[in-house]
Amino acid sequence: MALFAQQPRKDEPVEKPEPRAGSPPERVMASPPGPARRMEEQSMAMMESKSSESIVAAGLTIEGKIEGHGNIRVAGRFKGNVNVNGELTIEPGASVDGEVNADTVLVGGEVRGHIVAKSRVEFKESGTLIGDLKAGSLTVAAGSKMRGKVEFGWKEGEIEEAPPIEDEPTPIR
C-alpha cells in the first residue's frame, strides 16, 4: 500500500492513457496553470473592471489636467481642470483647485473653482466650494459651506428663454 500517490511534476508533460478499442474517446479539459479562481472572485474582478476608478491618493499633490471616461477619486490635492464623463469624488481633507466638469460630483473636501455637473452635485458635511456651481440637481448636507452663484434644476438653454427679471417691482393699483 502506497502512502502517497505519484503525481507528475508541473514542468513535465502529462502522459495520457491510450484509448481502448471500442470505448468512446474521453474529453480532457485542460486547466490553466496556477490556482483555479472561484466564481465569486471572477465576478468581483469583472465588476471592478466595469466600474474602474482612478485615485489621487492622500499625501499626493498633482498639478495638470484630468480628462476622459471613468470615475476619479481625489484624496490628496489636485491643481488643474477636471473634465470627465463619470463621477468625481473629493474626499474629506482633499482639495481641487480648478474647473470641474463631470456627470456627478461628490464634494467632501474643498473645491476652489467652478463646478458644472450634467447630473448632480452632492455636498457632504465637510464639503466646501469657493466658486460657482451649475448642476441638474443639488444635495447639500448640514455643515457644508459654499460661496458663489448656484444654478440647478434648469434644463440646458431653459434659463436663457425665461423673461428677464426687473429690478424694480411694478406698483399695484
Q: What is the pLDDT of residues 150-163, one digit of tens each?
A: 999 877 665 555 55
Q: pTM here?
A: 0.62
What radius of gyration, in Å, describes the C-alpha atoms of the chain? 29
Q: What are phi and psi of 95, to 5 degrees?
A: -145, 145
Cell of 92: 474629506
Q: Which domain holds residue 90?
A: 53-154
Residue 92 in domain: yes
Determine the pLDDT at residue 100.
Answer: 96
Is residue 52 very low, low, confident or very high in pLDDT (cuts 50, 70, 90)? confident
Does 33 map to a domain?
A: no
- 8 Å CB contact between 14 and 30: no
Q: Residue 37 domain-assigned?
A: no
Rounded Cα distance, 151 and 131, in Å:
12
> Residue 83: which H helix or E strand, with range?
strand 77-85
Q: What is the pLDDT of residue 96?
A: 97
Residue 171 domain flag = no
Count the domains in the chain: 1
Dist. CA 79–CA 134, nearest whole Å: 20
pLDDT band for position 41 (cuts 50, 70, 90): very low
